[in-house]
């Protein structure tokens, strides 16, 4: 048996959205993450960058202070020798020369600092800084050289290294936590867009009153939602005018059809009158179906009501039995011995079943039976009702299209307009069920209404 797909509903995901560059939340998260990482790198590198300038400035100031200390410590012994009164644990090396560049005094570590040993594994090279100056001391004009052994700049390096060893590891968890909080905040902020998408997905030609919610939306999106809602108002108004026009046109046609029927009865040519009556019956059926479509689109179906499908089918068979007799057909109902409860709109379900029975009576050969088989629901499976006839059936190529308005299959007979199955399809879609079209076991067509499980 071939299943005819329900009426398509608008989908939030379109071809253009699948070609998009990703969700807004993902893009914001990536950009926010990039900002956090950039800020973290700047915070990590800034002390190292600043330490270079600080090291140079501190070294220069320290050398100048050491040079002044050396100048103040120089004195002459009674025997005329030069003496340097500095403690042995000073932080710098020194050398004192006269104007002829003769060395008068030198610290023990001067030569060692001029040629420092290679650094051990894992250690930074020793940085040596020298400041020379011609200074007028108490012992005369002398050339003084002071050399730093790296202790003062090493203090700055120690502070920087402490930053890298102790503070940066603490910042890493803070960075991760900030990223997670940022992503969570973005998703919470964009949650109203999900509600807007759900509301948009629920808008159909039957549900034109739904509007996109603007509660809790970012201020930048409120004008967009308002414009969309205004457009939906205009579309709903257009749908309303279209439905009213179809209903009014159908109502207006009833009176001239009644007048035409009265004129046909007075025709002397009975054969021509019979042919015209058949055509008139098709026109009346078309008008009735147009009114049915207008009614379905105009009112809300109460698909949650409890309906006894067995009682509904039995009542319909009793009502249509006279029509079947006039066409020399029989109506057989099976499976209605006990109540079969479903959820649905009783009037709409009756309309759907009536359309199927009318189609079957129109296409079944004379002196054959139109069978109505009712199946009660079972666990995981809803109730169904099938209508079978012994007619030509539906061509396989037509089964997917016969639910379209005004489409008539290759094997169509009679004056039908192609609206009956379209109405049935719409009713089943509103109930969350489906319409199945296939072949009857003994030939002909079998059309089944399948309702969802309770």
For residues 293-316, average pLDDT: 82
**Collapsing DSSP states into helix, strand and coil, what is residue 123?**
coil
* Res. 279: pLDDT tops 90: no
User: What is the per-residue burial (b if ≥16 Cβ within 10 Å, else e) of 426-454?
Assistant: bbbbbbebbbbbbbbeeebbbbbbbbbee
What is the spatial distance between Cα 425 and Cα 13, in angstroms, rounded to a whole number? 24
Closest CA to 62 of 150, 134, 141, 1: 150
> 322 falls in which pLDDT band (50, 70, 90)?
very high
Q: Domain-by-domain residue ranges, the chain? A: 67-152, 204-299, 301-454
Query: Considering just the CA atoms, what is the radius of gyration of the chain in Å?
Result: 48
Confidence at residue 81, expressed as pLDDT on a 0 to 100 scale? 78
The answer to whether 284 and 264 are in contact (CB under 8 A) is no
- In this structure, the number of other CB atoms found within 10 A of the CB of residue 147 comes to 21
What is the spatial distance between Cα 203 and Cα 189, in angstroms, rounded to a whole number? 24
What are the beta bridge partners of residue 147? Answer: 93, 130
More confident residue, 230 or 88: 230
Mean residue pLDDT across the chain: 75
> 52 falls in which pLDDT band (50, 70, 90)?
low
As a whole-number percent, the residues of the chain with pLDDT over 90 amount to 13
Q: What is the pLDDT of residues 54-67, one digit of tens each?
A: 566 667 777 788 78
Return the ∠ at Cα 60 (arms to 59 and 61), rounded to 5°: 95
pTM: 0.48
* Res. 22: pLDDT tops 70: no
Q: Which tokens go with 324?
A: 């079947």
* Res. 92: pLDDT tops 60: yes
Q: What is the pLDDT of residues 163-191, one digit of tens each?
A: 556 666 767 777 777 778 777 877 777 77
What is the spatial distance between Cα 28 and Cα 189, in angstroms, rounded to a whole number? 11
75-89, 319-333, 430-444: the lowest-pLDDT one: 75-89
* Res. 220: pLDDT tops 60: yes
Long-range pairs of 403-406 with CB within 8 A, sequence gap ≥ 24: 403/4, 403/435
Distance of CA 250 to the CA centre of its chain: 43
Confidence at residue 163, expressed as pLDDT on a 0 to 100 scale? 58
117-131, 178-192, 260-274, 397-411: the lowest-pLDDT one: 117-131
More confident residue, 383 or 143: 383
Confidence at residue 206, expressed as pLDDT on a 0 to 100 scale? 64
* Res. 5: pLDDT tops 60: no
Return the ∠ at Cα 131 (arms to 127 and 133), rounded to 5°: 170
For residues 216-239, average pLDDT: 83
Residue range 67-152, CATH number = 3.30.450.140
Closest CA to 243 of 208, 200, 195: 208
Cβ-Cβ contacts under 8 Å for 267 (sequence gap 6 or more): 273, 276
* Res. 6: pLDDT tops 60: no
Give the fold, CATH level 3, of 301-454.
Heat Shock Protein 90 (3.30.565)
Q: Which tokens go with 90?
A: 């000073």
């Amino acid at each position: 048996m071939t299943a005819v797909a329900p009426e398509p509903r608008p989908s939030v995901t379109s071809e253009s959205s699948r070609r998009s560059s990703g969700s807004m939340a993902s893009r914001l998260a990536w950009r926010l993450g990039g900002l956090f990482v950039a800020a973290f790198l700047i915070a990590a590198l800034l002390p190292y960058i600043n330490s270079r300038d600080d090291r140079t400035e501190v070294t220069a100031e320290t050398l100048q202070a050491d040079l002044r200390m050396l100048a103040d410590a120089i004195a002459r012994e009674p025997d005329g020798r030069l003496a340097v009164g500095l403690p042995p644990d000073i932080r710098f090396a020194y050398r004192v020369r006269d104007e002829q560049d003769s060395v008068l005094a030198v610290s023990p570590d001067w030569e060692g600092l001029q040629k420092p040993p290679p650094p051990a594994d894992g250690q930074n090279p020793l940085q040596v800084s020298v400041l020379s100056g011609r200074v007028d001391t108490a012992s005369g004009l002398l050339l003084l050289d002071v050399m730093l052994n790296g202790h003062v700049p090493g203090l700055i390096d120690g502070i920087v290294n402490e930053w890298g060893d102790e503070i940066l590891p603490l910042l890493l968890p803070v960075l991760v936590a900030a990223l997670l909080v940022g992503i969570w905040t973005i998703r919470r902020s964009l949650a109203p867009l999900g509600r807007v998408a759900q509301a948009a997905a629920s808008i159909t030609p039957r549900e034109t009153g739904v509007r996109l919610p603007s509660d809790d939306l970012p201020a930048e999106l409120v004008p967009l939602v308002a414009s969309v809602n205004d457009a939906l108002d205009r579309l709903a108004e257009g749908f309303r005018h279209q439905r009213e026009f179809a209903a009014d046109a159908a109502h207006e046609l009833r009176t001239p059809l009644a007048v035409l029927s009265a004129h046909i009865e007075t025709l002397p040519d009975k054969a021509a009158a019979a042919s015209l009556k058949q055509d008139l019956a098709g026109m009346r059926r078309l008008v009735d179906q147009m009114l049915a479509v207008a009614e379905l689109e105009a009112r809300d179906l109460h698909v949650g009501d409890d309906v006894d499908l067995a009682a509904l089918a039995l009542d319909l068979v009793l009502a249509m039995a006279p029509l079947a007799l006039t066409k020399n057909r029989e109506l057989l109902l099976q499976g209605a011995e006990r109540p079969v409860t479903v959820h649905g709109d009783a009037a709409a379900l009756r309309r759907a079943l009536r359309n199927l029975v009318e189609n079957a009576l129109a296409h079944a050969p004379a002196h054959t039976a139109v069978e109505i088989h009712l199946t009660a629901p079972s666990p995981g499976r809803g109730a169904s009702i099938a209508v079978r006839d012994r007619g030509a059936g539906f061509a396989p190529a037509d089964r997917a299209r016969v639910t379209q308005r005004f489409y008539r299959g290759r094997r169509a007979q009679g004056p039908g307009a192609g609206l009956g199955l379209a109405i049935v399809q719409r009713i089943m879609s509103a109930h969350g069920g489906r319409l199945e079209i296939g072949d009857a076991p003994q030939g002909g067509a079998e059309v089944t209404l399948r309702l969802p499980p309770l």
